[in-house]
Amino acid sequence: MRAAVYRSTGPAAEVLEVVELELPEPGPGEVRVRIVTSGINPTDWKRRAGLTGRTPDGFQVPHHDGAGVVDAVGSGVDGLVVGQRVWLYLAAFGNRYGTAAEYAVVPAVRAVPLPDGASDELGACLGVPALTAAHCLGGNPGALQGRTVLVAGGAGAVGHYAIELAKHAGATVVATVSSDEKRALAEDAGADLVVRYPDQDVSRQIRDVVQHVDRIVEVAPATNLELDLAVLRDGGTIATYAAEGDLVLPSGKLMTANVTLAFVLLYGVSSDQLADAVRWTSDALAVGALSALPVIPYALERVADAQDRVEQAAVGKVVLSVAAR
């Protein structure tokens, strides 16, 4: 099979190459998936660049997310059959076969049925962003009915799915963005109110429309904490999934308001919590509540350029189109 691999960490153009690998066989509890699309996340280029402190064991096929068709099933696998369309998540976590290849072998739990009405591009957009969003929202859609959620960075991948999942759960959603272009993306995702960061009196604009916010999905806690505390209700939660330098906490304000500050990294989420996030995402997907981000397509052979595009903070989702011969 053709596969993108890297054997050492470093710049994309220096360490990534497309090679021929022997077709892997699924072991017990695993499935092999013929990959159609491979979605790229910031965590993918950061790991390849060596920012996570991990080095490949021999070689690594990158990328956690993607969509394809089950090609072979290992022993002990229930619920998946050959020929079934699936979307993948965390494919390269503890596994050398990520989705930047014609085939990937993954634990069966990381392959989730993809409905007939959902495109392969949508399948490649899910994974890390949608599951992170679901976990930041508390993992339980029933708890959001009638609540108000603030999504910081509503045009990003996690922000996009935080808006859609929260709306699917019956919440009112406020989103913040940095530009009019991104405002349109957040509105398309279904946000009830979208406010630009550069505008004046952002907290007043929010409070003029909603009395308070119950939960915040935060992309830039150090930058936005003052705004968050200005609109969050007492006893509310700020769930942040991104780190941006040192965060200085006003402990008195946080304690007085009984604020819960949660830090989310999908790799460390428990299996039960991850299952909750997968279930919520799948339920929303089944009723057409989730949509693809604007897709920026690349061929497998241009994987280095594609990862660089993600590193440059492209607006939308960079996706490899992978076609098995």
- Exposure letters 132-161 (e unless 16+ CB within 10 A, then b): bbbbbbbbebeebeebbbbbbbbbbbbbbb
pLDDT score at 53: 79
Q: Average pLDDT, stretch 291-316?
A: 96
Residue ranges and CATH numbers for the domains of the chain are 2-126+290-321 (3.90.180.10), 130-268 (3.40.50.720)
What integer pLDDT is reported at residue 2 of this predicted model? 97
- Give dist(CA 38, CA 300) in Å, integer: 9
Res 319: pLDDT: 98
Report, as an integer, the average pLDDT of 132-155. Answer: 96
d(CA 319, CA 84): 21
What mean pLDDT comes out for the span 278-302? 97
pLDDT band at 243 (very low <50, low <70, confident <90, very high): confident
Q: What is the mean pLDDT of residues 253-270?
A: 95
The arithmetic mean of pLDDT across residues 113-124, rounded, is: 97
Mean pLDDT of 125-143: 97
Q: What is the pLDDT of residue 32?
A: 98
- Of the chain, the percentage scoring pLDDT greater than 90 comes to 93
Q: What is the pLDDT of residue 227?
A: 95
Classify residue 98 as exposed, middle or buried by CB count within 10 Å of its CB (0-12, 13-18, 19+): buried
Share the mean pLDDT of the chain. Answer: 96
- pLDDT > 70? residue 79: yes
pTM of the model: 0.96
Q: According to the model, what pLDDT value does residue 55 have? A: 85
pLDDT above 80 for 276: yes
